[in-house]
Amino acid sequence: MAQAIAVEDLRKSYGDVQAVNGVSFDVKQGEIFGMVGPNGAGKTTTIECIEGLREADRGGVRVLDLDPQRDGYELRERIGVQLQETALADRIKVREAMDLFSSFYRRSVEWGPIIEQLGLGEKREAYYGKLSGGQKQRLFIALALVNDPEIVFLDELTTGLDPQARRAMWQLVQTIRQRGKTVFLTTHYMEEAERLCDRVAIIDHGKIVALDSPQQLIDSLGVDNRVVFTVEGSLELGLLQDLPAATRVERSGDRVVVYGRADGLVGAVVNALEDAGVHFADLRTEQPSLEDVFLALTGREMRE
């Protein structure tokens, strides 16, 4: 597949702070590419250098075979951008904003169906200032789609949204991709990246620490599955440690965690407990997630 974005050794600093410190990656046409990492990791700086809104100190960026700095206007005809810190005038109506932004592009599509699909059809005459957080966010996505862009950039798309609105937004991103567009998104929610992205770049302190599909990342790190349960009274931990599927057992208070390989771990744990006549409760399994990958790579937990 052809490349939509090619970034090589991108560097950008603000004063003494090295925001992006040698980042390289490619984004293929038609994929959902995610950049995840904690706040301040360099995600927004990277995305804004790609969009041409910021100039990199060093490094090569090509987007749709254009130079974002030199061919900025041409590039912005062909991409759609949803920014993190932005707004419209409080007293502009949804309809007026769509009309206005449509006029900025040499080529734009009828926006009626776009806002219909984003669930803003009823809000055509509503003022921007009267919209809820989720509605504003959806309006910004609609604005990013009026030119039928080849690449859509979504920076912290679901920050500040409730879980329900977040799920609706995920659905939407998938719809955008189904129309053949490339999606580049940043997020600090690992779950979001895991659910949405074909490939994920994990960025920390301005550097990419891992880049692959979410499943590959999880598999490659050999992060264990977990079986978690509670017991009252005593439990001989050796009983579980000896299981072939288990790699490690931890107990703190009533809570016991058995780490191990996916195949057969739950069954083996349950059998062992029942054979020993141990009363356990609240048993559940936890799949390793990108959170675990991040923890394994950086030694820190992602914090919102």
Partner 1 sequence: MSDAPAGRVFRRSAMRSLWKMTLTEMKLYLREPIAAFFTLVFPVMLLLIFGSIYGNEPEELFGGRGTVDMSVPAYMAMIIGTVGMLSTSINVATSRELGILRRYRATPLRPWVVLVSTVVVNFLMTFLGTALLIAVAKPLYGLRFEGDALGVLVGFVLSALSFFSLGFVIAGLAPTARVAQVAGMLIFYPMLFLSGAGMPKEIMPEGVRAVANYLPLTHVVDLLQGMWFGEPWADHLTEVVVLAAVLVVGSAVAARVFRWE
Q: How far is the CB of 113 from partner 1 (least distance, A)?
A: 5
Rank residues 54 and 199 by Cβ distance to partner 1 and give the closer one. 54
Q: Which residues pair with 58 in a beta bridge?
A: 11
For residue 2, the 8-state DSSP code is: -
Q: How far is the CB of 48 from partner 1 (least distance, A)?
A: 9
Q: How far is the CB of 144 from partner 1 (least distance, A)?
A: 8
Contact by Cβ (8 Å): 94, 115: yes
Q: How far is the CB of 203 from partner 1 (least distance, A)?
A: 21
On the CB side of 237, CA atoms within 13 Å amount to 14
- Picking from 137, 144, 146, the residue whose alpha carbon sits closest to that of residue 183 is 144
Rank residues 177 and 205 by Cβ distance to partner 1 and give the closer one. 177
On the CB side of 298, CA atoms within 13 Å amount to 23
Rank residues 185 and 210 by Cβ distance to partner 1 and give the closer one. 185
C-alpha distances out from residue 61 to 13, 37, 73, 293, Å: 16, 21, 15, 28
Q: How far is the CB of 68 from partner 1 (least distance, A)?
A: 11
Rank residues 68 and 214 by Cβ distance to partner 1 and give the closer one. 68
Q: How many angstroms separate the CA atoms of 119 and 96, rounded?
A: 17
Classify residue 81 as left (phi > 0), alpha (psi -120 to 50) or beta. Answer: beta
Q: Which amino acid is at 235?
A: L
Would you tell me which residues interact with partner 1 (CB under 8 A)?
A: 51, 53, 73-74, 76-77, 81, 83, 85-89, 91-92, 96, 99-110, 112-113, 140, 143, 148, 150, 179-181
Rank residues 179 and 251 by Cβ distance to partner 1 and give the closer one. 179
Q: Which amino acid is at 229?
A: F
Q: How far is the CB of 148 from partner 1 (least distance, A)?
A: 4
Rank residues 17 and 87 by Cβ distance to partner 1 and give the closer one. 87
